[in-house]
Structure 1
Amino acid sequence: MRLRTRRPTPPARPSPGDVLAETQDLYVRLGAREVLKGVDLTVRAGEVLALVGPNGAGKSTLLSALAADVPAAEGVVRVHGRPAAEWPAPDLALRRAVLPQSAALSFPFTVEEVVRMGRAPHAASPASTPADDDRAVAEAMAATEVTGFATRPFSALSGGERARVALARVLAQQAPLLLLDEPTAALDLRHQELVPRLCRSRAHAGDAVVVVVHDLGLAAAYAHRVALLCAGRVAADGPPAEVFSERLLSEVYDQPVEVFPHPRTEDLLITPRRDL
């Protein structure tokens, strides 16, 4: 008798404001170190949520917990309303896409082949066709401006080019929850602006985007909400204009900070105070 295997199907498109991921009283331990301590966080469709804070604050660990890549020691992480650990891997891959801090490949894949890896979760889905795959790959490559070197080996790219190809792979996955760890770190000035605009575009289309970013100016300009982490806890969570105060940032970063409006756009400008 032939056994029938269950084929995972993509989730329905979320509505604005739907909770796609959340943590409640989350504690995470890595070895003997308690990295996250009682974190409550909600991730909603239609928003870009920036995770900011000093080195070692727990930003990447929180992102990994939301991705179900790091287990909770205490508390709970839910993805699409279900405890993250209960999702079968094929179903989870259709619901969240993850961009790690760095990408390394041991085999000489081309750029297009790497981006096409993002379609792997859809291979078993009855809702996906080869034409869907081709369209998703082409759109992701165009959005990240990597189409021009589609046939080049991934290993021959610069650090910034690799970062953009890795992001294209995540976009091609077309999951409604995007979890991006420092996607702008290796990029030049043009692409540092391109990536947060892409995040905004995905949120406008109804996705939820969580992004770890060190550039507070980018977070202020493009994030709908920011969660400011300090020593494994959320020190503040809200719109950038509410969270990015000189007093709070100076305290969290242990560095005097100035916050003032741009003279033309009135966007927040954030810079260390330099009394030279």
Structure 2
Amino acid sequence: MSPRLLLSVVVAWLGVACAAVPPPPPTARVIEPSAAEPPDEVVLAEDVRVYRLAPGVWVHVTLAGKAWGHTPANGLIIEEGASSLLVETGWNPRQAERLLDWARDALHRPVRAALVTHFHLDRIGGIPALGARGVPVSAREETARRVVARGMTATLQPLADAQEWGPLSVFFPGAGHSPDNLVVAHRDRGLLYGGCFVKDASARDLGNLEDADVAAWPRSLERVRQRFPDARQVLPGHGAPGGPELLTHTQALLRAAP
């Protein structure tokens, strides 16, 4: 299929998530967005919060429902002039709507486009909300194929395995956590978003391996190191950000994997 064609795909409501052992949900006061400059951290709902990671770079954290143990998942909102870009869509459409509203009303930079890094529910669950608002969502064709025939219909624009996407560099290093996992870098900020391909410092195992290729993962990880040698901050798909040591930690977990 030509990379210029839109792919009609079906989004999974019962897709596979990335984390293995969910922590308990946080308790926090809900703060509504305002017209003022947003604070460095804002709680948009009991299961949605946003915090500033670097100038023009925000992390969104969404919690799964009870069935998934309220597992938190990370994503990004990247400022780009008068608009913004969304990386990952949250676990469900309501969470995505919260993020879109915040970017428009508090950040004053409406989301103009989004991408998802792989086909698991914690990445794609909010796609229907973006489609309803006319926000295009991009993904690898492999991701599109893996969500076909799984629920609600949406339209995904194909991503190349290595391309520039606004201020972001998108790269498919090979299989790892999933067969289709992308990583995303903001070179100007020295940031690498590893998604579920990279584990946080507190992880004691590789998490959900249902769709993983543990044999290929180390080689894929090395390609990421070679592609983005100047990354100073690394954000995993779950858990706290860190530095390049998160790549080393993931590598150690792979060595210890059965």
TM-score normalized with structure 1 length: 0.32
Bigger Rg over Cα? 1
Where relative contact order (Cα < 8 A, 6+ residues apart) is larger, the structure is 1
Q: Which has the higher helix share?
A: 1
TM-score normalized with structure 2 length: 0.34
